[in-house]
Structure 1
Amino acid sequence: MRRTLTKAGSLAAVSLFALALAAPAQAAQDSAAAAHPAATKAAYFEFTDGRNTFVIQLTDAAKIRQARDVINGVDTENISVMGKIVKTPASYNKPWKYTLAPSSVKFFSMATEVCDASISYVNEHLDEVGGALLPNSTWCPWQSKLTREIPAP
């Protein structure tokens, strides 16, 4: 009986030792995954400036979650859209000749006047963007309001 208890005790000790080593290894894997998340599937959202609609692409999971919170009424303050203009058209954002860089998109409630312009005004004066019009290509249409998520094109 004593030999059985010794074997059981040894087995329990080995199991606890294995668990003790596995926990930090699992924590390291979890932190590595957080530092380098897998590619998030792109999501597309529409906003309006009161006259026109514009589509943005988001690829960051936190920003996608934030956009969905705005649409679902969880976030009622940061409903406007800002970001860096990319002077090339995107297939998901027709008829506009530009879009926003997905990694630059943010949601805001207040911003400076220097980055405010309507969707159509930016489109009509795209060659001036980045200079006197919308310095650093930062666009923050004050009247913008995120309205809905749309299916991927």
Structure 2
Amino acid sequence: MGAAWFRFINADGSDADLHERGFVFELNDPLKIDDARRILAGQEKIRIHVAGCVIPQSMPYNPEWSFHLDPASIRFFAVQEHVALDVNMYYVEDHLDQIGSSFLPGRCWSPGDSRLVAEVWPPMD
């Protein structure tokens, strides 16, 4: 099947720029790709939020950010499962040097307000 890329946003829309741009992540696992597509199709209504481990390195499919999510670590969760610090993409970007300490222990980020919005086919330079 290969890789697929998806974009999520800050669901509350409190920051218009963040709401529009969002964050792109890669999936390589066919089951997770199917899960993401089920979320987008409205077939999954509970485990709809995106979580993953932060790697402080930019990727061609998400050039606006200095970090990406480890594709193997991506999971979808229900908001009730949310236990990690709930911050947006800008906050993660601004605090990359602190990730793995008391900020996002284990580098795992699970924004409880994340909402998957699209499957994307980003340009790969």
Q: TM-score with structure 1 length normalisation?
A: 0.71
87, 91, 94: which one aligns with 1:117: 87
Structure with greater proportional helix content: 1
Of the three residues 42, 47, 55, the one matched with 1:86 is 55
- Identify unmatched segments of 5+ residues in structure 1: 1-39
Which residue of 2 is the match for residue 142 of structure 1?
112
Output aligned runs, 1:2-151, within 5 Å. 40-49=1-10, 50=13, 51=15, 52=18, 53-110=22-79, 111-151=81-121
Q: Which runs of 4 or more aligned residues in structure 1 lie more than 4 Å from their structure 2 counterparts after TM superposition?
A: none
Matched-pair contact (CA < 8 Å) for 1:81–1:140? yes
Matches of 1:84 and 1:107, distance apart in 2: 12
Q: Using the alignment, how far apart are the partners of 1:60 and 1:48 within structure 2?
A: 22
- Identical aligned pairs, as a percentage? 35
1:78 CA displacement: 1.2
Give the total of aligned pairs: 114
Please give the TM-score of this superposition, normalised by the length of structure 2: 0.86
Q: Which runs of 5+ in 2 are unaligned?
A: none
Amino acid in the other structure paired with 2:8: F
Q: CA RMSD in A?
A: 1.2
AA aligned to 1:145 is: R
CA distance in 2, matches of 1:112, 1:73: 21
Instruction: Flag the structure with larger Rg.
Output: 1
Report 1 or 2 for greater relative contact order, CA contacts < 8 Å, sequence distance ≥ 6.
2
1:146 deviation in Å?
Answer: 0.5
Q: Which has the higher strand share?
A: 2
| Counterpart amino acid of residue 118 in structure 1 | N
State the one-letter code of the partner of 2:7. E
